[in-house]
Amino acid sequence: MTIPAAPARSADILTAVLSNDSHAVALRFGDRGWTWRAFAARVRAAAGMLDTLGVRPGDRVAHLSGNAPAVVEIALACAWIGAVYVPIGGRATEGQAAYIVDDCAAPVLLCGDGRADRMRRVRVLMPHLRELVDMERSYEMLLADAPPVTHRAMVTGREPFCQLYASGRNGFPRGAVITHASMAAVCDALADAIGLDSTGVSLIAAPMSRVAAFSQALMGVRHGAQTVILPAPRAAAVLDAIEESRVTHTFVVPTLLAAMAAEPGVTERDLSSVANVAYGGAPMPPSMIRACASVLRVPLLQVYGLTEAAGATTVLAPADHLDDTRVGSVGRPLPGVRLRIVDGEVQVSTPRAMTSYWRQPEETATVLTGDGWLRTGDTGHLDADGYLYLV
């Protein structure tokens, strides 16, 4: 099943941020907000900070953090100087985080969530590391003191933007290398599918170290929407944020969607601003989907994807949720995505697939076929209309 690719846009996410000179709010986190001008200034300062720390084009910059605006700032600062952003989730153990830092040979590790002291205790496991930055103590000071970086690194859409770690067969995570063009393309395809533009308000309610929320945040800044970041995904906090910020779009995992529907007083909440709530990342029975839809009374949109494809590959539109058969599927492929079933396995072909697993050619060969398809490891089938059903 093939959907034609959408018209080409610039592969550079950073340019969209730097060219937005609006006084409107770009990011919100807690009771703080930053205009587009202020946000761009912080990205410039973060680029200067990384340059001062000795980060050079092609270097990996590891960032251990929960949800925070710094995730977007540092990712775009890496793009400015030609470095590669490597997010590490705040729930990772010190050992897991150290493995990723060592695997990607990052010269700099930025530690948030009060993790710096604990990561120093395992520094022996990170022999390539030159600088360990305590974000709580030093980040704002480093931004304030950073010299301006006037010239951007010359990067093309084919060069790596980020390195996202996914679980491996041997228990060790593998770093999927995602290019600038790939990340920009998934942002555009998903924005078109959910209807997000500069008038929208996008709520980040999932861990930004994972591809779904990370690409959602980048999608918002690329398309000029206001992005509201929640530090922790709790049902009451999501509902509060929707009401207070007049959220139009968000993405949640199925357990959070169910918790939102079960939250006391949810039927009294004002969710009228919501254009749709996307969900995905785990199976969700049709009966639960219908129950959540009937309680929340907002359009639901299911997303299926994987880290190695830079995120979303299929979408089940709100209208399809009304069909008793199609609601059991994960939808149809996004523009530029092809699907096929080989011996029961779902395989994906898309220009935005990862280039490789970092320094793991044998592991790369197990998931990228010789004819350019990405093996998902999921079992499923396609119906005559191109809807994908997972088993």
Q: Do 211 and 145 belong to one domain?
A: no
Share of the chain above pLDDT 90, in %: 91
Residue 361 covered by a domain? no
Look up the CATH number of the domain holding residue 131. 3.40.50.980
What pLDDT is stored for residue 6 in this prediction? 40
Domain-ending residue, one of 300, 331, 362: 331
Angle formed by the axes of helices 254-262 and 235-245, to 10°?
Answer: 80
- 317 and 189 share one domain: yes
DSSP SS3 for 72: helix
DSSP one-letter string for 212-276: HHHHHHHHHHHTT-EEEE-SS--HHHHHHHHHHHT--EEEE-HHHHHHHHHSTTGGGS--TT-SE
Q: Looking at the structure, do residues 59 and 135 belong to the same domain, yes or no?
A: yes
Determine, yes or no, domain membership for 355.
Answer: no
Say if residue 138 is in the same domain as residue 204.
no
Single out the residue in 120, 155, 190 at which a domain terminates.
155
Q: Is residue 357 part of a domain?
A: no
Q: Kindly report, residue by residue over 293-311, the tens digit of the pLDDT.
A: 999 999 999 999 999 999 9
- The answer to whether the beta carbons of residues 316 and 329 sit under 8 Å apart is yes
Q: Model confidence at 12, in pLDDT bands (50, 70, 90)?
A: confident
pTM of full prediction above 0.75: yes
149, 289: one domain:
no
How, if at all, do strands 174-179 and 108-111 pair? unpaired
- Residues whose CB falls within 8 Å of the CB of residue 45, separated by 6 or more in sequence, listed in order: 143, 144, 146
C-alpha angle 197-328-247 in degrees, rounded to nearest 5: 25
> Could you give the angle at which helices 36-52 and 69-81 cross, rounded to 10 degrees?
60
Per the listing, tokens 């996202």 go with 164
**Same-domain pairing of 140 and 201:** no
Question: Would you state the pLDDT for residue 343?
Answer: 97
Domain shared by 34 and 128, yes or no = yes
Q: Are residues 82 and 201 part of one domain?
A: no
What average pLDDT does range 142-170 have in this prediction?
90
Does residue 71 sit within a domain? yes
Please name the residue that has the structure tokens 């590891």: 62
Q: Looking at 59-190, which runs of residues are DSSP E strands?
A: 60-65, 84-89, 108-111, 131-134, 160-166, 174-179
Answer whether residue 41 is part of any domain. Answer: yes
What's the CATH number where 323 sits?
3.40.50.12780
DSSP 8-state secondary structure symbol assigned to residue 327: G
pLDDT (tens digit per residue) in 101-128: 999 999 999 999 999 999 999 999 999 9
Looking at the fold, whether 111 and 201 belong to one and the same domain comes out as no
50 within domain boundaries? yes
> CA 389 to CA 132: how far, in whole Å?
45
Give, in order, the Cα–Cα distances in Å from 380 to each of 76, 87, 314, 329.
Answer: 36, 30, 13, 10
Query: What pLDDT is stored for residue 7 in this prediction?
Result: 40
pLDDT at 35: 97
Query: Which of 277, 306, 331 delimits the end of a domain?
Result: 331
Torsion of CA 54, 128, 130, 231, to 10 degrees: 90
Q: Give 9's pLDDT tier (boundaries 50, 70, 90).
A: low
Q: Which domain holds residue 239?
A: 181-331
**Buried b / exposed e along 85-96 (16+ C-beta atoms within 10 A):** bbbbbbebeeeb
- Measured in degrees and rounded to the nearest 5, phi and psi for residue 40 equal -60, -40
- When the pLDDT of each residue in the chain is averaged and rounded to a whole number, the result is 94
Number of compact structural domains in the chain? 2
Task: Round to whole Å and give the CA distance between 93 and 113.
Answer: 12
Instruction: Return the structure tokens found at 262.
Output: 């079960």
